[in-house]
Amino acid sequence: MAENNLVRKRSEEVMAAESSLLKDLDSPETGGRTTATLPVSPAASSPSMAVFRAGIKPPPRTRMFTGLDIGTTKICTIIGEIDPQGRTTIRGISSTPSQGLRRGVVVDLDETVSSIRTAIRKAEEIAQVEVKDVLVGIAGGHIQCHARTGTVKVANPERGVTRADIRRAIDKAATGEVSMEREIIHTLPQRFLIDDGPVANPEGFASQQLTAEVLLVTAAVTSAQNIIRAVRQAHYRTAGIYLEPLASSLAILTPEERELGVIVVDIGGGTSDLAIWVDGSVRYADVVPFGGDSITEDIRRGLKVSCYDAENLKKRFGSCLPEAIHEDDKLEVPVALTGETQQVSRRFLAEIIESRLGEILMMVREKCEQTPWNDRAFGGVVLTGGGSLQDGSVDLAAKIFKRPCKIGKPTGLSGLSSVASSPIYSTGVGLVLYGLYHDQEFLYSETNMFQRLVHFFKRAIDWY
Ligand SMILES: Nc1ncnc2c1ncn2[C@@H]1O[C@H](COP(=O)(O)OP(=O)(O)OP(=O)(O)O)[C@@H](O)[C@H]1O
Ligand SMILES: [Mg+2]
């Protein structure tokens, strides 16, 4: 019964992650050093999964990048590097409770700035490096996807389509009407049409004209700028902004899974983000403005407990499979108002969780069903983010999506990989991987913000 009494002490997920990190740093293996030079795991000593995953050649010299995941519940900083052998090492990782965000959007700049500063400084200390630029994730209900096409005449049809032609076609597709209040975050080429029909890569094909089909991902200008502003006020520079479900996908999916087609659902605190991958490319991305915090809120109201106890109950005793819990299984929890002990049924707790998580997953499913890609995600559904840790989440998702489901977590890393391999860090790890493997030039960044006109013609182009 003692186990059932909720102990009032710090037990937020971020605290758990931190203590696990501290344990790593204090372990005899590391000798309590603050630099992240943990023994390389067997998996990490093989050719890096991350290189394999990205399908990109490693750089000629070691490069380092920092990912900043400004989440609704935690702000996490991950410093990673890739060496010429393609080994991806996490040098520093930190997580600090997030203040100042609501449903993925900055609502209190000062609070956000201070959380960002704390998170980056902690990671800098661990990695023993000074961070200047960060790659930042973006999510929130303001994110939208738009399918666009752009057609151009091929400059020299006999010589075949060149990269310059491809660039012009993509740029043309990206210059369609996007309102002044929205900013293009990504331009994701889907496929190309030449005179003879559709091709994945038109380079070298003889054709009179070329059409690019692209997926534009746009965000509210104000939301994107507030992120950049918060990072700048914390005295760092935004090297690029990257859509969070795409970042998470990069960290957790293998090329086979992307090729086969999967739906990635990142269940965070304030939002649940989704990305549909088909034939190796991302075809659709969207955000449902509810996450694990809505579950906690339902528990708080349903059981009349404090927010703190509701969160604890959810993580320690929660499940989304009420039918698997005996009806006599009871918990002792203090009533928020009086402090008196009350008995609550674990099955009832599970019913609350099942109901809200089920509702969130159904909203994700509905969004997927409205796209032509839903039926082509043959692989199934990959859950990630803190909400995926809810006991029974895979079974519930399998019931709702009626296809195979699993939890996706970052793999194939060395260094602080034991900490970074939690689904909570999928976005942060994905941001670092993006920095390590992709060209920065095309990201919507701080510099670009001041060069909107130039940016207008050099729309963000991501190659997968
Ligand atoms: N073991 C667990 N069981 C159930 N829920 C959990 C568990 N661990 C974390 N969570 C929930 O996961 C959510 C936080 O997930 P995550 O860290 O991915 O969110 P975030 O990135 O801060 O938020 P967002 O992506 O919405 O901006 C919280 O609602 C938390 O209660
Ligand atoms: Mg998140």
Is there a single domain that holds both residue 205 and residue 120? no
Which atom, in ligand 1's list, is nearest to the CA of 384?
18
- CA-nearest of 27, 37, 215, 236 to 136 is 236
% of the chain exceeding 90 in pLDDT: 55
Ligand 1 pocket, 249 CB below 6 A? Answer: no
Residues 6+ apart with CB under 8 A from 320: 350, 353, 354, 357, 358, 390, 391, 392, 393, 395, 396
The ligand whose atoms approach the alpha carbon of 388 most closely is 1
Shared domain for 208 and 236, answered yes or no, is: no
For ligand 1, atom 28, the nearest C-alpha belongs to 269
What number does the ligand 1 atom closest to the CA of 101 have? 27
Name which of 33, 244, 37 is nearest 135 in CA terms.
Answer: 244
Same structural domain for residues 21 and 69?
yes
Same domain, 62 and 173: no
- Domain at 182, CATH number: 3.30.1490
pLDDT for 8 beyond 50: no
Cα of 232 to ligand 1 centre, how many Å?
Answer: 26
Let me know if residue 310 belongs to a domain: no
User: Is 183 found in the same domain as 266?
Assistant: no
CA of 83 to the centre of ligand 2 (A): 27
Domain boundary among 159, 181, 216: 216
Band the pLDDT of 438: cuts 50, 70, 90: low
Tell me: do 245 and 385 sit in the same domain.
yes
Whether 298 is in the pocket of ligand 1, judged by its Cβ within 6 Å, is no
Q: Quick one: 133 and 238 in the same domain?
A: yes
Same structural domain, 157 and 117: no
CATH number of the domain where residue 391 is located? 3.30.420.40
Closest residue to atom 13 of ligand 1, CA basis: 269
162: containing domain: 144-216
Q: What digits encode the pLDDT tens for the residues 337-369?
A: 888 999 999 999 999 999 999 999 999 999 999
- For residue 312, being part of any structural domain is answered with no
- Find the ligand nearest to 427 CA: 2
Residue 440: pLDDT over 90: no
Across all residues in the chain, what is the average pLDDT? 81
At 49, the pLDDT band (50, 70, 90 cuts) reads very low
Residues 115 and 65 in one domain: yes
- Residue of 7, 42, 60, 79 lying closest to 428 (CA atoms): 79
List 343's β-bridge partners, or say none: 332
Count of structural domains within the chain: 2
- Ligand 1 site, residue 409, Cβ cutoff 6 A: no
Report yes or no on whether pTM surpasses 0.75. yes
Please indicate whether residue 291, judged by its CB atom, sits closer than 6 Å to ligand 1: yes
Q: How far is the CA of 330 from the centre of ligand 1 (A)?
A: 25
- The DSSP symbol for 7 reads P
Tens digits of residue pLDDT in 172-217: 998 877 788 888 888 888 889 999 899 888 999 999 999 999 999 9
Confidence at 411, pLDDT banded by 50, 70, 90: confident
Binned at pLDDT 50, 70 and 90, residue 57 comes out as: low
Q: Is the CB of 435 under 6 A from ligand 1?
A: no
Least confident window among 196-205, 261-270, 318-327, 375-384: 196-205
Q: Residue 303: pLDDT above 60?
A: yes
Are 60 and 152 within one domain?
A: no
Whose atoms come closest to the Cα of 75: which ligand?
A: 1
Ion ligand 2: residue ranges with CB closer than 5 A: 71, 268, 427
The closest-lying atom of ligand 1 relative to the alpha carbon of residue 272 is 26
Residue 271: nearest ligand to its CA? 1
Number of Cβ within 10 Å of residue 125's Cβ equals 13
pLDDT surpasses 60 at 33: no
| pLDDT reported for residue 446 | 45
Please give the distance, rounded to the nearest whole angstrom, from the Cα atom of residue 398 to the centre of ligand 1.
Answer: 20
Beta carbons within 8 Å of 315's beta carbon, 6+ residues apart: 11, 13, 389
